[in-house]
Structure 1
Amino acid sequence: NLTPKDLRQVIVFQHATDDDLKSILENGITRSVEEGGFFFLQGDPANYLYVLLGGQVKLMQSNPSGQQVNLRTISPWQMFGALGAVRAEATYPASAQALEDSTALAIKGGFLRSLMETRPYLSFDLMHLMTSYIQEMQARYRELATERVEQRIANALLRLAGQTGILSKKESGIELSFSRQDVAEMTGSTLYTVSRFLSEWERRGIIETGRQRIKILQPHNLVRIADGLEK
């Protein structure tokens, strides 16, 4: 069973009282989604916000022609779909797809809005979370406008390592559960271009790739590529 201590791992709830957290847990619903399924779709009413309890979730947007852009990957104890807590009658600006079997705590946006009206620390912590997302998107826009494609790919891998990377237990390296197509969508590049650079970096021992998997073996060299110090 979830406890207030568990929920305090969520950035937005780090300053909440035990009574507040108990109330959130009492009003929350646990939802499980199988790999490939969706917690919500772009354009759906944003009635709930979610705290991921286990698994991994990809947030992505689609344009009218069906092209997809990966916005962010969510790891356990991160919040997603929080727009409903900020504005009534909002819709989700992106879809949330499970990259593996995933479970999340669904919290009604209206309930959290009512809590925030009398608990300013919740509002400040939510604002801090959203500000960090805005800063990340600004950095990605700057990369698209000013950096070479290999720098964008390296930056994307480093960003993913910070968000969702898992240290390999069997051998050194940081495991990422992403495909080359995922990286192409994140960097505004093509599958061919991403594959060309990843193959070159694998030949040099910087990374190792597999099916739906990328392992970073030499993060320091990846940082040098991201900084434009080498290709």
Structure 2
Amino acid sequence: MKIDRTVVRSLLLFDRISDGDLDRLLTHATARRVTAGDAVFEQGQVAENFFLLVHGRLKVTQVTQDGQQIIVRIVHPGDLFGFAKALQRLDYPGTAKAAAESVILCWPTDLWPQFVEQNPRLAVSAMQTIGQRLEEAHTRIREMSTQEVERRVAHAVLRLSQQAGRQEGHGIRIDFPITKQDIAEMTGTTLHTVSRILTSWEERGLVEGGRQKLLVIDSAGLRSLAEGARD
């Protein structure tokens, strides 16, 4: 698949890099189209490449020791992912699957040191990504340890609306297919519980659901729930 430099240039990560430096980076890259539901890599697989998401959305999941699957990260356009070498790992700690049809760039893992040494801004971006992932992980651990389920679900939906939302009519649409099972895996609860909560929220005018769709109608109301406020 041919790499469109203008599309890559439009990503925030590359907006200040020179044309020459960008061309050198892309010389070593391979572009791939990933169909919704297909995996880019699997948990435990040897980390032969690292990646950049150009278009679409990805879900990164992990299977815990007790067999529970959890969603640990949503990958958005412009995000680097799968850089196991930066984490001092030889394998991928999770499975990355396309939540919608996606386009990715991939580079051989052996090029990671050269990638960051020759492109300081990309190195900073990778460090920031790692920091954000750690902060999000700590936040979610704290939420699951101390908060009731409805608050956790409210936090998860608000984060999705902020990171992947677009204005649509009278609300904010999560801009990729999202299921109740996905939300359950993000919040450490069950599909039944998420279904019950979302049905209640729809009745109260906080959200509108649909098949793999979620529209946030009342962000302030959800924020109140996330903060523990009661009607």
Q: CA RMSD in A?
A: 2.1
Q: Deviations over 1:165-189 (max 9, x none)?
A: 2322xx2212222111111111111
Letter of the structure 2 residue corresponding to residue 60 of structure 1: T
SS in structure 1 opposite 2:51? strand
Residue 163 of structure 1 aligns with which residue?
163
Letter of the structure 2 residue corresponding to residue 21 of structure 1: L
Alpha-carbon offset, residue 32 of structure 1: 1.3
Alpha-carbon offset, residue 59 of structure 1: 0.5
Conserved 8 A contact 1:15-1:122: no
Give the stretch that moved more between structures: 87-96 or 37-46.
Answer: 87-96
CA distance in 2, matches of 1:212, 1:18: 39
Question: What TM-score, normalized by structure 1, do the two folds share?
Answer: 0.89
Alpha-carbon offset, residue 24 of structure 1: 1.2
Alpha-carbon offset, residue 92 of structure 1: 0.5
User: What is the aligned-residue identity percentage?
Assistant: 33
Letter of the structure 2 residue corresponding to residue 22 of structure 1: D
SS in structure 2 opposite 1:42? coil
Letter of the structure 2 residue corresponding to residue 81 of structure 1: G
Conserved 8 A contact 1:73-1:163: no
CA distance in 1, matches of 2:45, 2:61: 14
- Provide closer, same or farther for how the CA distance between residues 127 and 98 of structure 1 changes in structure 2, counting only shifts above 3 A: same
Conserved 8 A contact 1:7-1:77: no
Equivalent residues in 2 for 1:40-51, closer than 5 Å: 40-51=41-52
Choose the corresponding residue for 1:175, options 173, 187, 204: 173
Conserved 8 A contact 2:80-2:126: no
Equivalent residues in 2 for 1:1-231, closer than 5 Å: 1-3=3-5, 6-7=8-9, 9-11=11-13, 13=14, 16-84=17-85, 86=86, 90-168=90-168, 171-176=169-174, 177-230=177-230
How many residues align? The count is 227
Q: Deviations over 1:77-116 (max 9, x none)?
A: 22211223x2676211010011122111112222231232
Letter of the structure 1 residue corresponding to residue 60 of structure 2: L
Letter of the structure 1 residue corresponding to residue 57 of structure 2: Q
Conserved 8 A contact 2:8-2:54: no
Conserved 8 A contact 1:40-1:96: yes
Unpaired segments of 5 or more residues in structure 1? none
Letter of the structure 2 residue corresponding to residue 67 of structure 1: Q
Conserved 8 A contact 2:50-2:107: yes
Letter of the structure 1 residue corresponding to residue 122 of structure 2: L
CA distance in 2, matches of 1:91, 1:121: 25
Conserved 8 A contact 2:207-2:214: yes
Letter of the structure 2 residue corresponding to residue 218 of structure 1: D
Conserved 8 A contact 1:152-1:226: yes
Misfit runs of 4+, over 3 Å: 13-18, 117-122
Unpaired segments of 5 or more residues in structure 2? none
Q: Deviations over 1:25-46 (max 9, x none)?
A: 1110011121111000011111
SS in structure 2 opposite 1:135? helix
Question: What TM-score, normalized by structure 2, do the two folds share?
Answer: 0.89
CA distance in 2, matches of 1:52, 1:9: 10
Letter of the structure 2 residue corresponding to residue 138 of structure 1: H
